[in-house]
Each structure stands twice: as structure tokens, then as C-alpha cells.
Amino acid sequence: MAKILVVDDDKNTRKLIEVSLNKHHDVLLATTGKQALTIFEENVIDLLVVDVMMPEINGYELTKLLRETNHSNPILMLTAKHSIADKQKGFSLGIDDFLTKPFDPIELQLRVDALLRRSLISSKHILDINGITLNKKSLEVTTSDGSIMLPKKEFDLLFKFLSYPNIIFTKYQLMDEIWGVSNDSDDHTVNVHVNKLRNKFSSCDAFEIMTVRGLGFKAVLKK
């Protein structure tokens, strides 16, 4: 169960987020950026949901403080502001995603879960599974047939599949997590990259990337 710190001075927003997330996560609440820093230092936090407009230390300042002290925890920023300039400021300071108020609780859950999955995968540099080794730093995949270096998106896609064998991922999930929500590519891009991986590992006896009709793709281990 992930531990999520919610930082918002609005009581109703805090309650909505808590109700939306506490079924699957441990939710801690802070009303100010200053209080959030205290909670952050006393707990192992997996992700932060941070409002922009707050007293004492606002969301931008809180993000800047955390990034300047080398904390890489995913940060989802909430704001009533809609402008591109506000989003650019947030991303330039180090936030990972942006959600505009008022928000749909289901979308909040989806974005939080996606950020947690990305964080889990990015924390791993070497993946050993079923006789295959994937090295994230070198983008190299080693199998019984030898080693091959992949383009980054192909590597990230394969790393994703093999990190969660037998789990089905929709094209939307893969586009969001591998290419990012702001990318202009469409879901055909996923098909192209999956086919490239299939061609490159067609003789590999360790795994197969399968299409699940109407749902998406999954990696199946062969032995």
C-alpha cells in the first residue's frame, strides 16, 4: 500500500481526495506546505498530491524545495488555473503531472496509479526475469541468443511488459506511461513498437508479447 501525502488548505478538497484514494492507499493530510514538509520528513512518502494556492509555502515553492533537496517522489499538482503558463511553471519546477480543479475522482485515481507505476519501474535499473536481463542504463537486453541494444521507447515498453508478466496493458495506459500524456503520438505508435519488439525477439524462447483482443497487450513467459 503506497503512502500518499495530500497537501491542500481546502477541507472539502482534502476530504474528496482522501475518500477517493484511501481504499487502496495510505493517505496523509496536510493543510499547508510547512506542515507537509514536517510530515514528509517523518514518513516514507511514495507520492504527493499538492495544491498550488496555499498559505505560507505554496505548491510551486514546496515542489522547488523538494527537488532542490534531491527528493524524486512523484508530485501530482492540483490547481484551479487553466493556463499553459501555469502548467509550464509547474513542470519546470519538477512536478510529474497536472490536474485542474474541479476534477473527477476517477481521473485522480488513474493518474495517481500511473505515477506510482512509473515510479516503481524507474527505481529499478536491472531486471532479471526468466533468463533475460534488461539494463536500463545501457538500454541493453541480454537473452540466450546474445545481447541487443534497443531504442529507448522500445526498451521502456519491453521493460514495462516484463516487469508485470501476464498483466494486460491498454494502449492508453502505455501511451500515458511510456510516451506521456502531452505527447502528440496516437495509439498506432504502440502497435508499431510492439511489432518491432516481436520481430527482434521472434526467436526468443523466454517470452511472447500477446495481443488481447479489445483490451491491449501482455507479456507471457514461456517457461
β-bridge mates for residue 219, sequence order: 209
Q: Which of 70, 98, 60, 64 is nearest to 180 (CA)?
A: 98
Residue 128's pLDDT is 87
Read off the pTM. 0.58
Task: Among 103, 121, 139, identify where a domain stops.
Answer: 121
State the pairing for strand pair 216-221/207-212. antiparallel
Helices (H), the chain: 11-21, 33-42, 59-68, 84-93, 105-122, 152-163, 171-174, 188-200
Task: Among 94, 121, 148, identify where a domain stops.
Answer: 121
Amino acid, res. 215: L
Length of the chain equals: 223
Residue 163's pLDDT is 86
Where b means 16+ CB within 10 Å and e means fewer, 62-79 reads bbebbeeeeeebbbbbbb
| Domain enclosing residue 7, as ranges | 3-121
Residues 117 and 131 placed together within one structural domain of the fold:
no
How far out from the chain centre does Cα 95 lie? 12
CATH number of the domain that residue 209 is part of: 1.10.10.10
Rounded CA separation 152/93 (Å): 24
Rounded CA separation 223/207 (Å): 8
Tally of domains within the chain: 2
Amino acid, res. 188: H
Residues 110 and 132 placed together within one structural domain of the fold:
no
Residues 37 and 147 placed together within one structural domain of the fold:
no
Q: Which of 206, 203, 207, 204 is nearest to 218 (CA)?
A: 207
Residues 21 and 110 placed together within one structural domain of the fold:
yes
Residues 117 and 198 placed together within one structural domain of the fold:
no
Residue 75's pLDDT is 94
Residue 121's pLDDT is 63
Tens-of-pLDDT digits for all 223 residues of the chain? 789 999 999 999 999 999 999 988 999 999 999 999 999 888 889 999 999 988 889 999 999 999 888 788 899 999 887 778 888 888 888 898 989 888 999 999 999 988 888 777 666 678 888 899 999 888 999 998 899 999 999 999 999 899 888 888 888 888 877 877 555 566 789 999 999 999 999 999 999 999 999 889 999 998 7
Residues 16 and 110 placed together within one structural domain of the fold:
yes
The three-state secondary structure class of 70 is: coil
Residue 122's pLDDT is 64
Rounded CA separation 219/164 (Å): 8
Residues 93 and 18 placed together within one structural domain of the fold:
yes
The DSSP letter of residue 173 is H
Residues 70 and 131 placed together within one structural domain of the fold:
no
Residues 140 and 54 placed together within one structural domain of the fold:
no
Residues 172 and 139 placed together within one structural domain of the fold:
yes
Count how many Cα atoms sit within 13 Å of the Cα of residue 178 in the half-sphere of its side chain: 25
The DSSP letter of residue 178 is I
The three-state secondary structure class of 120 is: helix
Task: Among 73, 97, 121, identify where a domain stops.
Answer: 121
Residues 60 and 138 placed together within one structural domain of the fold:
no
The residue assigned the cell 490547481 is: 79
Residue 86's pLDDT is 82
CATH number of the domain that residue 87 is part of: 3.40.50.2300
Residues 17 and 102 placed together within one structural domain of the fold:
yes
Residue 125's pLDDT is 76
